[in-house]
Amino acid sequence: MRRLRTHPRLREMVRETRLSPSDFILPLFIRHGENQRLPISSMPGHSQLTVDLLAEEVKEIASLGIPAVILFGIPAEKDAVGSDACDDQGIVAEAVRAIKASGTDLLVITDVCFCEFTDHGHCGIINDRHGTLDVDNDATLEILATQAVTHARAGADMVAPSGMMDGMVGAIRGGLDAAGFTNLPILSYAVKYSSAFYGPFRDAAESAPQFGDRRTYQMDPANAGEALREAALDVAEGADLLMVKPALAYLDIIHRVKQAHPGVPLAAYNVSGEYAMVKAAAEAGWIDEQGVALESLLAIKRAGADMILTYFAKDACRWLG
Ligand code: PBG
C-alpha cells in the first residue's frame, strides 16, 4: 500500500475525497439596529451583524468562492407567535433584500423556524394541553408556511425549515406553490437531533428555550433508524435537499441517509459547539486549528455529505488556497 503514498503528486491523484470552497454554506447572524458588529464570545471570529453592514460582508464571502449563506435573524421584538418572522419588514426579509441588492450572486438560504422570534424561545406556537406546555405541531405548520412565503417574497433563493415539526416540508411546499414560488427549493433539516452541541448558537441567535427543552420535537441522539424515517417522510413531502445535524458526532447518520437516498443532495451542519471546541483547544495551544478543522470537514464529506454548513467556511477557503 505504501507505493501509492510515496510521491506527493500520486497521493493527490489517488485521493478519494476533496474539499473545495463550493462545498460550503456560511451561517450569518443578522441583528436589528445599525452599524453594529457584535462579536459572539462563544464563537470566536463570528459576530451578529446589522443589515447595513451586510453588503460589504457578502462581497468578501463571494470573493472567497463560497456559493451560499444561510441567514438567522435576531429581531428587535419577540412575542408569543414570532410575528417578526412573518413580517415583510422583519429582520430576515430586510437582510435578504440587502444581500440581493449587493450585486453578488450568492445563493441566499433562510432558516425557517420560530425560536429566534418567540419570547419563549421555542420553535413554534405553544399550547397548554392539560397543564403541559408544548409546541402545537399543526398550528405551527401554518405560520411556517407564512414565514417561508415571506422569505420568498423578499427574494430568498432557498428555504431551510429547521423546526422539526411533523409535516413541515409538505406545509411549506403547499404555501410556496400557492403563492407562485413553485421553483423555490426546500432544504429540509430532516434529521436534527436534540443536541448539547447547539449551545453557542443559542447565545449567538438569542434563541435558548425559556422553559423546558426541545426533546418533544428534535430527535433523540440514541436513534438511527428513526433518522431514515424522518428523511423518507421529508423526501415524500417534497424536500429537494436533506440535512443531518449536528455533523461530527453523527457521521454514521450522514452515511446511512446518503445510502438510503443516493439521489438526494445531502447537507450536514457542522454546528456551533463543534466549532467552539476546535477554537478553544486551538487557542489553548493543544491542537492545530487548521489541521483539525480541515480533517473534520473532510470526514463529513467522506461520510456522504455533498455540502457542509460550517462556521469554518471562510477560514477553510483561505487554507485550501
Ligand atoms: C433552530 C436552529 C438551531 C441551530 C440552527 N437552527 C438551534 C436549536 O435547535 O436550538 C443550531 C446551529 C448551531 O448550533 O450551529 N432554528
pLDDT, tens digit (0-9, with 9 covering 90-100), for 162-190 = 999 999 999 999 999 999 999 999 999 99
Please tell me the distance between residue 202's alpha carbon and the centre of ligand 1 in angstroms: 7
| Cβ-Cβ contacts under 8 Å for 131 (sequence gap 6 or more) | none
Q: Could you tell me the domains of the chain?
A: 19-320 (3.20.20.70)
Strand residues in the chain grouped as ranges (E): 24-31, 37-39, 47-50, 68-74, 107-112, 126-129, 132-135, 158-161, 187-192, 241-245, 266-270, 307-310
- Active site positions, annotated: 192, 245
CA 113 to ligand 1: nearest atom: 16
Cα–Cα distance between 227 and 190 in angstroms, integer? 8
pLDDT, position 140: 96
> Which atom of ligand 1 is the closest one to the Cα of 189?
6
pLDDT at 203: 87
Task: Note the pLDDT tens digit of each residue in 103-117.
Answer: 999 999 999 999 999
Residue among 92, 112, 198, 275 to mutate when testing ligand 1 (max atoms within 8 A of CB): 198
Residue % of the chain over a pLDDT of 70: 100
At residue 130, the pLDDT reads 83
Q: Which atom of ligand 1 lies closest to the CA of 311?
A: 15
Predicted confidence band at 125 (pLDDT cuts at 50, 70, 90)? Answer: very high
- Mapped onto helix, strand or coil, the DSSP state of residue 270 is strand
**245 CA → ligand 1 middle, Å:** 9
pLDDT confidence of residue 255: 98
Q: What is the mean pLDDT of the chain?
A: 97
| Residue 48, pLDDT score | 97
Q: Quick one: pLDDT band at residue 131, thresholds 50, 70, 90?
A: confident
Label residues 245-262 b or e (16+ Cβ within 10 Å = b).
bbbbebbebbbbbbeebe
Alpha-carbon distance of 64 to 61, in angstroms, equals 5
Whole-number Å distance between alpha carbons of 218 and 79: 22
| Ligand 1 shell residues, CB under 6 Å | 111, 113, 115, 162, 198, 201-202, 207, 214, 271-272
Distance, CA 124 to ligand 1 centroid (Å)?
14
Residues 98-109 as b/e (b if ≥16 CB within 10 A, e otherwise) read: bbbebebebebb
Q: Give the pLDDT mean for 81-97.
A: 97
Task: Give the mean model confidence (pLDDT) for residues 269-286.
Answer: 98
- pLDDT (tens digit, 9 = 90+) per residue, 44-55? 999 999 999 999
Question: For the whole model, what pTM was predicted?
Answer: 0.97
The C-alpha atoms of residue 166 and residue 169 are separated, in whole angstroms, by 8
Q: Element (H or E) spanning 94, and its range? A: helix 91-100
Predicted confidence band at 235 (pLDDT cuts at 50, 70, 90)? very high
CA–centroid distance, 1 to ligand 1, in Å, is 42
Residues 6+ apart with CB under 8 A from 202: 208
Cell numbers describing residue 103: 450585486
CB 250 within 8 A of CB 193: yes
pLDDT of 299: 98
d(CA 168, CA 187) in angstroms, rounded, equals 11
pLDDT of 194 above 90: yes
Q: How far is the CA of 3 from the centre of ligand 1 (A)?
A: 45
Q: Which residue CA neighbors atom 8 of ligand 1 most closely? A: 198
Place of cell 435576531: 74
pLDDT score, position 55: 97
Least confident of 1-5, 133-137, 176-180, 292-296: 133-137
pLDDT at 129 over 90: no
